[in-house]
Amino acid sequence: MRRFGWIKAIGLTALAALCGGCDPGGAGAAGLISLGQGVTTEGFTTLRICATPEPETPPTTGFLDTCEILVNEKVADIKFPHPYEITAGLGPSDHEKWRLVVFLTSNETSVKPESGEPFGLTLFSVGGCAAGEVDQYCGVTPGVDLTLMLGGGGGS
């Protein structure tokens, strides 16, 4: 019996050493994207999902000119309401608060909706990492749902 205890202790120590160096899941969001009243996918080729750390001074238009995490999905391949997940991959972020913009577009290079493109915008917070990692944020925030509405867009 005593020998088994040593083997178990060595095994658990080795496992802890292996996982201790693992990077945590990166910042992100997951939820459901819906189409608002009067919104259709007709004329659009891409559903663009963009997440960016919230700046200290929010933009006056609500839209940023950059996109830190970007996912593009072909409109022809999805149905609404559409489940999504966007993540930075592995590793912690220095940013707790994020801005999520989702929009329908046919422009293959835009990071914000243009006039006439249906969009949704929301802010979300990412949870803290494991104890001891101060000011580090990790993981995908669930329940970040958006409804795409018709609006002014952010310009080109």
CATH 2.60.40 fits 24-148, yes or no: yes
Average the pLDDT over 88-112 and give the result: 88
Does residue 91 carry a pLDDT above 60? yes
Domain ranges of the chain: 24-148
Answer yes or no: is pLDDT of 11 > 60.
no
Lowest mean pLDDT among 78-82, 113-117, 133-137: 133-137
104-108 mean pLDDT: 92
> Strand order of the sheet with strand 46-53?
69-74, 46-53, 97-105, 119-125
Q: What does the pLDDT read at residue 128?
A: 85
Per-residue pLDDT at 95: 82
Mean pLDDT of 126-140: 79
Which two three-digit tokens encode residue 58?
A: 């929010």
- Please tell me the least confidently modeled range out of 27-31, 74-78, 94-98, 117-121: 94-98
Q: Where are the beta strands (DSSP E) in the chain?
A: 28-35, 46-53, 69-74, 82-87, 97-105, 119-125, 140-141, 146-148
pTM: 0.77
Average pLDDT over residues 18-40: 81
